[in-house]
Chains A and B, each alone.
Chain A
Amino acid sequence: MESFIVDWRLSFDALSIFFGFVILLVAIPSWVYSIGYMQGLYSRGRIRFAKILFFFFILSMLLVVFSSNVLFFLIAWELMSLLSYFLVTLDSHEEKASRAGLIYILMTHVGTTFMTAAFLIIYSYSGSFDFIAFKETCLLLPSTIKTVVFLCFVVGFGTKAGLIPFHIWLPYAHPEAPSHISSVMSGAMIKIGVYGFIRFVLFILGVSELWWGNLILVLAIISSVGGILYALMEKDLKKMLAYSSIENIGLIMLGIGGYMVFIKMNQPLLAVFSLAAALYHTVNHAIFKTLLFMCSGAILKTCGTKNMEKLGGLIKLMPVTAFCFLIGALSISAMPPLNGFMSEWLILQTLFSGALAGATFPKMKIFLALLTGLLALTGGLAAACFVKAFGISFLAGTRSKKTETANDSGWTMKAPMIFLTGLIFIFGIFAAPVFKVLIDTVSSVSGLNSGGAAFTFNVMSLAPRNNSTMSLNSLLLFGILVITEVTIFAVVKIITKKRTVTCAHTWACGYYRTTERNQYTSTGFSKPFRVAFSFILMPSRKLEKIRDSHYHVKAFKYEVHTKQFLNEYFYKPVIKRLFRFAEWSRKLQQGSVHIYIGYIFLAIVFLIVFLKRF
């Protein structure tokens, strides 16, 4: 029993420090933001309660990252899950919030169960809960046990991270939570799942088979494409962001899967790059997703709705929020020279280099090339998604009365948004030094040879050496972008010099009496994608016409639904069976004292008679 005593010591290695940095990067602006955000939305007692919970939530995340003992890790992990549950259900008077909380806590516990199972399996071999003891034991584990442990970790950490087959809690919990909580959950908490995966699978369990990496790559690319497709279909601003988080987790896991594959393909250099790129995307996603959730929170607070169809024209009313959202949206859609582009570019390049380098693995060559293609598709869809989000919510005219009184929020809310917008530029333009730090981090934790030798690092660029195919030059990109834009601007100016301009209603094509009902809708915008990807989205539509006569339609109703493939064909049947089983097992509960004592009696007699069998 001695090893069940929890070792409360903390350990600070490069990986934990990196993730601790990401958590604080998200938490501190969110803390400032929450002061302004909660004011007026909640009662004073509730605000104080939320602040205390928030503080301990951040603390528990830091403890998860810095723990060096599995029991300590689990305790902190559970604390984090429970605290975030209470934060999700802060609007507990709304039924939707408590339902979202329920789904969240259920899924997170399913995940924890698998994690704990994996830990206990390793513990049964190691006899100690220390990370180092775990690592030593994992070298000696039989391969089938290793595979089981690996799969448990995938389910456990995948659930927290929101990887696609285990993602269902994410689109419920993130939109229902208060905005500063969604930003922390999306920016930091799901990254803890990534941290756990890196720590336990990559560095404690060790990668022992090629198909492990392939499995992660497949799940990751499904998450990316699926996440962004569902995001594109969504008209709820925060729900859209939640789906986009799934996409980004997919991108991060793509880097991690790349590491696993490259280790097995004997490409340590690429492995280091791949993981460093994943970490880079982790910090980038933390920055811009936090920012976007903050912007949507500002909109939600001032307009009272997060339904895009009801927003519109906000750019004139909330210029600061609009600008921040635009930068965040550009970054998340991988537009150079912002940070989102840099990390996606690096991930793409490592996968591409892997496809080129894997001469001895012909199948991997095709697989990796396919992944690169799908990754490019993801970027395109993300751009479409955020064009929609920005275009529908901020441009055009107002769509409902609610938005007419909208205005920019106070400084406590604006300052963190502007701060994060600045970080997007900094992490984009100074990509090379950041990437160098990350490469050092990865090589110090993994013990692999540092990739630094393959590059010359400048302040702005990353030039290849030793026939490496990777390169990154943010200065050049920035320059190209500026020159192109200036040229286009100048050309347009010259061409349109002699034209006269009439101002009319936005998107009215010159027609003078447009109402909000004439405008382009978010559902309309996403129609082409719904048609193109109908094999996944399975859209169904319903038309209802009420007419006076054959020629005159009095009222018209049009509904479009898309189906969640996994929900429909996996979770719903499973849940249905579960409920049916519960209903059936209720027969045991007859409410009669005699029968309850009888159960005890039968159990005793059974044990007496069959004791020898056990």
Chain B
Amino acid sequence: MHIELMQYGVLLMAFAMVAAKRFSALVTSFTIQSFLLFILTLSEAIKTGSTQLYILAVLIFAIKVIGIPVFLGRITKKIKVPDEMGLYVNTTLSIIIAALLSGISYYFIRNFLPSMEKEAGIALIIALSVTLIGLFIMIFRIKALAQVVGLLIMENGIFLAGASITGGIPFFVEIAVSFDVFIAVMILGVFVYRINSLFTHIDVDKLNELKG
């Protein structure tokens, strides 16, 4: 029961991120979402008693709950841009679209994987919704940092999908992906910093001069 609750929590946090106007709110929601994932993994680890899952849980906690949010916080402080992310689509409409995306995910999973168990199905629907919402945030938010967080949300969604269908992606793959994401965020952070020092802004919609 509590596992399902956690999963709904993950979805809720995704909606919270869609609704967020400020960057700090976005990062906070992301931290909570990652924390929920950490608890999900941990409870799974306690249930099965697998060492690998314990390590994974610790890793999630270290990277996604502490490492990345701290790093992003430092970047935002350093580049001194206004905290507003800049929305293409206002909050209300964004939430409606996010709800529609969840609907599409529901339709997709129910139609194409009808034989799935109920719980796993719900987890998968949530995972797909979160992934799509991450993509949505990448598209409809102007500042470059939002793209970074959007990518992280997508990764969370994929993690949830992997955990819910197969009972965990192979251990080494999972670890590799975690580190990958961490490194990607570092690099993207540096890029954002560079973009800011070169153009004095991080508005992605103004970066369109490099076209054929």
Contact = CB atoms under 8 A, between A and B. Distances in A.
Interface of A: 586, 589-594, 597-598, 600-601, 604-605, 608-609, 611-612
B108 A601 contact: no
Interface of B: 88, 101, 104-105, 107-108, 111-112, 132, 135-136, 138-140, 147, 204-205, 207-212
Contact of A590 (B104, B132, B138, B208): B208
Contacts, number: 48
Given A594-B88, A597-B139, A609-B104, 20 more contacts: A586-B212, A589-B211, A589-B212, A591-B208, A592-B207, A593-B207, A593-B208, A594-B138, A594-B139, A594-B204, A597-B135, A597-B147, A601-B135, A601-B136, A604-B135, A605-B132, A608-B104, A608-B105, A609-B107, A611-B108
A590 B211 contact: yes
Nearest to B150: A597
Q: Is the interface of B mostly helix, strand, loop or mixed?
A: helix
Contact of B111 (A589, A597, A601, A612): A612
A598 B139 contact: yes
Contacts of B212: 586, 589
30 contacts: A589-B212, A590-B208, A590-B211, A591-B208, A591-B209, A591-B210, A591-B211, A592-B205, A592-B208, A593-B147, A593-B204, A593-B208, A594-B88, A594-B138, A594-B204, A594-B205, A597-B135, A597-B138, A600-B135, A601-B132, A601-B136, A604-B132, A605-B104, A605-B132, A608-B104, A608-B105, A608-B108, A609-B107, A611-B108, A611-B112
Contacts of B105: 608
A612 B139 contact: no
Contacts of A611: 108, 112
B96 to A, nearest CB: 15
Contacts of A597: 135, 138-139, 147
Contacts of B111: 612
A35 B68 CA distance: 65
A608 B212 CA distance: 31
* Residue from A590, A591, A597, A611 having most chain B Cβ neighbours under 10 A: A597
A586 B140 CA distance: 23
Contacts of A594: 88, 138-140, 204-205
Contacts of B108: 608-609, 611
* Residue from B112, B205, B208 having most chain A Cβ neighbours under 10 A: B208
A31 to B, nearest CB: 43
Contacts of B211: 589-591
Nearest to B151: A597
Nearest to B209: A591
A598 to B, nearest CB: 5
A586 B211 CA distance: 10
A373 to B, nearest CB: 54
B45 to A, nearest CB: 32
Contacts of B210: 591
A589 to B, nearest CB: 5
Contacts of A593: 147, 204, 207-208
Nearest to B105: A608
B150 to A, nearest CB: 8
Nearest to B211: A591
A605 B108 CA distance: 10
Nearest to B131: A604
A609 B205 CA distance: 29
A612 B139 CA distance: 27
A590 B101 CA distance: 25
B146 to A, nearest CB: 10
